[in-house]
Chain A
Amino acid sequence: MILAVLEAEGGALKKISFELLTAAARADEALSSGGVTALLIGPGAAAAASSVPAATAREVLCAEGVAFEHYAPQAYAQAVLAASEAASAKAIVFGATSYGRDLAPRVAAALSAGLLMDVTDLFAHEGGLAARRPVYAGKAIAQEHALGERAVAAVRPNAFAARSQGGAAAPARALAVEVEAQNVRAKVREVRRETGGRPELSEAEVIVSGGRGLKEPANFVLVEQLADALGAAVGATRAVVDAGWRPHHEQVGQTGKTVSPGLYVAVGISGAVQHIAGMSSSRTIVAINRDGEAPIFKLADYGIVGDALEVLPELTREVGRLKG
């Protein structure tokens, strides 16, 4: 069996969960492991389980209760280990999200299992699980093989196509997990939201990012307007984040977020290696830059050589007309 550790919020599955079900199916095929079991931990697990399609999982295990009210890596790892045991999992797949990246190593350590982190593809190798993953900030691609009896993988958001939703729900059942309070020594107390109504960068299908070419912070309203017309998230370069024009959580790149949306629009961004590190796996890249020689054009599928301050309002209008 493959165990897919899904993510939900407020009783609804997150987009990454459907991508995870695709990745789990891939791992199941690679290992001929006998199917996929899904796991949901925390408040609303049972509610979210009802939208896991029967076509994607044999069963959904739900761990709810006081121990899981707030995210706590030690308690959650216990639940994953209990589910892995119950399902006799050959591999456990997480999303390479802030949740999966935090939790997967604890599970891997407990199982002495190889952890394939931030993978974009999964395949079989010598009877075990192997993966492709970007390394050196996307400047190289490694193929890695997880040795040993069990493997753990965390899959990059937007790298696997989401499994179709709807249809009959997979059967769900509660998973009993013993967690001793004294063994849980880190616990989330509170979550502060910071997106201001726009989609979140790591999950967004479309991102519009701005750089120093916007000239001044006030001009970012032009980036926001295009983003809103496209239903996109807003990103930024380190240059404008360090200058205090944009909040830190919007930074894309080596020291910011790694994103791989379907469409990435880079406006007034030169295309420094450290920025490219965070967005080069975007499927389609559009660049708008005054300088036709800017390195970002080497990466771009489409582009406009022109003044961002003039082009942005025109683009927003055109997109509005098309969608309107």
Chain B
Amino acid sequence: MNIVVLVKQVPDTATRIKIASGGTEIERQGVNFVVNPYDEFAIEEALRLREQHQGQVTVLTVGDEKSEEALRTALAMGADEAVRVSAAATDSMTTARAIASVVHGLAPDLVIAGKQAVDDDEGQVGSLVAALLDWPQVTVVTKLELKDGTGVAEREVEGGVEIVDFSLPAVITAQKGLNEPRYASLPGIMKAKRKEIRQVSVDAKTVGEPTLRTLSLQLPPERSAGKILSGMDASSAAKELVRLLHEEAKLI
């Protein structure tokens, strides 16, 4: 069972966002970068599948040299190999094309991505890669079982869970609930430092034309100060709140 895990380096979720002077990107200075939280579930799932079915876990990122930190974290958790892809990718489609071309060469049984990257919040790269490879996909997965070239996954949908049958090779995207990601052990971290990260370049022709362009990035408008009731007993506060919601906000 050979598995490729797609990993993206993103700003820590608690980061305060500042817009850089061009007005289309965030200010990267002083930002703490981490492995995309959903990709941690993806790495963990791959490691567990390797424990069950043997094989290899390869982590892959499309990014600059700094993004190798994310690969090191994945290696420290226990991944066998790491690949950094250099490509002139500027949006999800070009990123997915670069990933698909490298994955095609690696020919794994399974690709696991995160449900979404918490910077662009798009949640499309996993399915795009599946479509480009003409592989099946199961997204937002909270439970996964594989057997003899097929799999059963549970995916979260509005108001319930879908149980999906699929065949390998396939792309899965990981949602919280799939597992509890392990922490890297100290020996793991030491070992990861010495591991080689393979560099792969994908040419401009394969990456193709971008399909999206960011026109602007802005901070959301501030919310105006609310009416906060304090120092009242529970009953009068409740009466007043319901009155406000009924008469002023006209919500109930």
- A contacts, CB < 8 Å to B: 71, 73-74, 77, 97-99, 101-102, 104-106, 108-110, 112-118, 125, 130, 133-148, 183-195, 200-203, 206, 230, 248-249, 251, 254-256, 262-263, 273-274, 277, 280, 284-287, 292, 297-307, 310-311, 314-315, 317-319, 322-323
Shortest CB distance B172–A (Å): 10
Count of interface residues, chain B, beta-carbon cutoff 8 Å: 86
Q: Interface of chain A, helix or strand or loop or mixed?
A: mixed
- A140 near B218 with CB under 8 A, answer yes
* Residues of A close to B152: CB separation below 8 A: 189
* Residues of B close to A314: CB separation below 8 A: 234-235, 237-239
* Residues of B close to A277: CB separation below 8 A: 13
- A318 near B244 with CB under 8 A, answer no
Contact of B138 among A144, A186, A249 (CB under 8 A): A186
Quick one: closest A residue to B142, CB to CB? A248
Quick one: closest A residue to B138, CB to CB? A186
What are 26 A-B pairs with beta-carbon distances under 8 A?
A: A102-B139, A105-B131, A106-B130, A115-B92, A118-B121, A137-B121, A140-B219, A141-B220, A142-B215, A142-B218, A186-B137, A187-B165, A187-B166, A188-B162, A193-B160, A248-B142, A249-B156, A254-B37, A256-B176, A263-B251, A284-B249, A287-B228, A304-B241, A306-B237, A319-B242, A322-B246
Q: In residues 173-212 of chain B, which contact A (Cβ within 8 Å)?
A: 176-177, 208-212
B26-41 near A? 1/0 per residue, CB < 8 Å? 1000000000011000
- B contacts, CB < 8 Å to A: 11, 13-17, 19, 26, 37-38, 91-93, 96, 118-124, 126-128, 130-132, 134-140, 142, 152, 155-167, 170, 176-177, 208-220, 223, 226-232, 234-235, 237-239, 241-242, 244-246, 249, 251-252
Number of A-B contacts (CB under 8 A): 282
- B216 near A143 with CB under 8 A, answer yes
* Residues of B close to A263: CB separation below 8 A: 245, 249, 251-252
- B155 near A98 with CB under 8 A, answer yes
- A186 near B158 with CB under 8 A, answer no
